[in-house]
Amino acid sequence: MGRVVTDPSEVAKAISSAPPRPPCARVLMAAPEHFSVESAINPWMHDAQGNLNQVDRARAQAQWEALADAYRRIGVKVDIIDAPAGLPDFCFSANQSLTCLDRNGQPLAIMSRMASPTRFNEVTYFRDWYAQRDFRVMESPPGLRAFEGTGDAIRHHGRHVFWGGVGPRTMAQAWEFVGEATGADVIPLTLVDERYYHLDTCLAIMGPDTALYIEEAFDEDSRKRLQTGFTQLIAVDPHDAGNFACNAHCPDDRHVLIQHGSRVAGTLREAGFEVLELDTSEFMKSGGSVFCLKQELP
């Protein structure tokens, strides 16, 4: 049974003593054919005049296909789940579940309980997709509202440990359940800025020792845990925070898929990463970028 690790002095030991986990070699993406901004459930969904952002769906499709192609080019397999009509946020496939290998080495999918009623029905389609592919499907407890999967559960690279966001989309009690269900220790991080409503908007793990983060997104105790967990913790500047640089994804400790124009890309290249800059601007209108648009599969 995994623990919830809150003492910064225990973070490094929790990581180093955890079972090894291989790099991500497979992702699940959800087709964006019905993607749009129909209601505002985070601060990024309005334009400067206060109106809902308008999506260019053809451009969004092209951006999504470019992201899928980028994964394939670096050797990551892309599975695709078809999008049902009437669920405009369905394409953000990080949110509806959390997947990993269970204690017996079998694929496990823990289903989310979404915070917004507009997203409740998304989970059903993902549940069916996993069940049809021999995942062991586990429901979140009925009283656990909310818990939004890997929007707030970010894997530490190389180890079976999760960093867990506590904020508007996932309650603190979720991490006790995740620790018990997965056998992984969870290191909680409290989010304090409404702009960074999911952990994946303000923390991007690049490798076992390296991560990008938005300092003001976290309370003091959470910053201490992060400083203990990463020897190279890179704070992004306000430009990159607004450019969704911390919604980047590094599946393999080497390649970084990131929104183009992020200034931290140069820092990452100097650190030895291969950076692939992509345009996800249509999805940023809904508050997401690279990391939001995929689910890591075991």
Q: What number is the average pLDDT over the span 280-292?
A: 98
- Determine the pLDDT at residue 104: 83
Residue linked to tokens 């308008």: 54
Given a cut of 90, whether residue 27 has pLDDT beyond it is yes
- Determine the pLDDT at residue 145: 84
- Determine the pLDDT at residue 103: 82
- According to DSSP, the β-strands at 161-166 and 210-213 are unpaired
Minimal CA–CA distance to 194: which of 220, 224, 214, 164? 214
pTM: 0.96
Tell me how far apart the alpha carbons of residues 177 and 142 are, in angstroms, rounded to a whole number: 12
Q: What number is the average pLDDT over the span 36-54?
A: 94
Q: What number is the average pLDDT over the span 120-132?
A: 98
**Residue pLDDT, tens place only, 130-169:** 999 999 999 999 888 899 999 999 999 999 999 999 999 9
How many other CB atoms are found less than 10 A from the CB of residue 268?
Answer: 22
Residue linked to tokens 């394939």: 72
Minimal CA–CA distance to 96: which of 87, 107, 85, 105? 87
How would residue 1 be classed by pLDDT, with cut points 50, 70 and 90? Answer: confident
Residue linked to tokens 């959800």: 30
Q: Count how many residues are written for the chain.
A: 298
DSSP string, 211-260: EEE-GGGB-HHHHHHHHHH-SEEEEPPHHHHHTTGGG-B-SSSSEEEEET
Q: Give, in order, the Cα–Cα distances in Å from 5 to each of 20, 42, 52.
A: 18, 28, 39
- Determine the pLDDT at residue 9: 97
- List the chain domain ranges: 8-296
**Residue pLDDT, tens place only, 248-271:** 999 999 999 999 999 999 999 999
Angle at 190 between CA 188 and CA 193, to 5 degrees: 150
Tell me how far apart the alpha carbons of residues 15 and 159 are, in angstroms, rounded to a whole number: 7
Catalytic residues: 198, 292
**Residue pLDDT, tens place only, 55-109:** 999 999 999 999 999 999 999 999 999 999 999 999 999 999 999 998 888 999 9
Structure tokens at 291: 């990391």
- Residue 12 DSSP SS3: helix
Tell me how far apart the alpha carbons of residues 66 and 34 are, in angstroms, rounded to a whole number: 18
The CATH number of domain 8-296, selected from 3.40.220.10, 3.30.1490.20, 3.40.50.10470, 3.75.10.10 = 3.75.10.10
Axis-axis angle for helices 8-16, 220-229 (nearest 10): 30
How would residue 172 be classed by pLDDT, with cut points 50, 70 and 90? Answer: very high
**Residue pLDDT, tens place only, 176-212:** 999 999 999 999 999 999 999 999 999 999 999 999 9
